[in-house]
A = this chain, B = another copy of it.
């Protein structure tokens, strides 16, 4: 079927390619004319502006906005301005689901169907397909199912879950209508929250392995930390790149994120050039706030988020306060990195 695509960055363009490969017709628009031209060269129909986009789409129209979350609001308004009752707008970006709830209600009043499509797959999506978490009105989502089916990965070589039989359900093909407007991005939000947790679990574990040799280098940082009590048990030099590769086969923790970890470590054994300042996007934050709102515990997801904050030194003032308190109650001086403690000085480190 026919789909308009607004926003031809990496993801938007790849979705268009995936759709055209499967026989769908795409009308594409971006403020970047080169991006439009590139896809026109591959078979898409180019649009000069929103009005042109609307003109080139048959009714009931459907346009997919694949733009940064910060401008999604503006872009979907522009699309709505040239669309008519019965048309549908799909937001495939990383919007906060609350915006979808609001927009869904608003556009419903003018007869336009608003659909949120949480999209996972990263840079591998063109080849693997994109996992789609969809929210919106039943009829509109049903009408656009051929689009979702093409963008999604399909069953692929994922083994079927025991107990399932008969025709493949949409979720087995990689897309799911999760509920009304907002439900798609809500599920996508939690997906990313889980992603943070899994990433952190892998990173923390590998960090322990990386430090399994602490017993062999005790002296060098003895000034700052409590002495390692049983250094004889921490004398392993673990090759973490090999371990990450190993776990990909047959272990309980095999996962796509582990595949990526192994790839990253193969590419850059020592992780050179990485400072370890980890960014975060909105979804991890929204997930923790949602957990707090509905009152369910999420210590793993919250810890994973907070570790990222700390990686960017956002814990600085808190840590200075801790040092300041220690100075007050015990006269404990803060020790610079790498300092060696004078004999007998350990006592000063103890907090009474």
Contacts and interface: CB of A to CB of B under 8 A. Distances in A.
Nearest to A11: B352
A131 B201 contact: no
Contacts of A101: 232-233
Contacts of A349: 279, 281
Contacts of A98: 233
Contacts of A264: 321, 324-325, 327-328
Interface in A296-336: 296-332, 334-336
A145 interface: no
Contacts of A183: 212, 236, 238
Interface in A133-171: 133, 152-159, 161-164, 169, 171
Size class of the A contact interface (CB-based, 8 Å)? 35 or more
B169 A245 contact: yes
Contact of A322 (B210, B311, B327): B311
Q: For chain A, what secondary structure do more than half of its interface residues adopt (helix, strand, loop), or is it mixed?
A: helix
B205 A197 contact: yes
Contacts of A228: 293-295
A203 interface: yes
Contacts of A278: 319, 322-323, 326, 334
Integer count of this chain's copies in the complex: 4
Given A122-B329, A208-B190, A256 B256 contact: no
A154 B248 CA distance: 11
Q: Which of A152, A234, A304, A310 has the most CB of B within 10 A?
A: A310
B321 A203 contact: yes
Contacts of A262: 161
Contacts of A285: 226, 292-293
Given A123-B330, A297-B306, A297-B307, A323 B274 contact: yes
A24 interface: no
A346 interface: yes
A334 B194 contact: no
A208 B290 contact: yes
Nearest to A97: B233
A93 B202 contact: no
Contact of A334 (B199, B202, B209, B277): B277
Interface stretch (A38-46, A65-73, A78-86, A106-114): A65-73
A187 interface: yes
A56 interface: no
A130 interface: yes
A1 interface: no
7 contacts: A162-B267, A179-B238, A202-B321, A204-B291, A214-B295, A251-B256, A276-B316
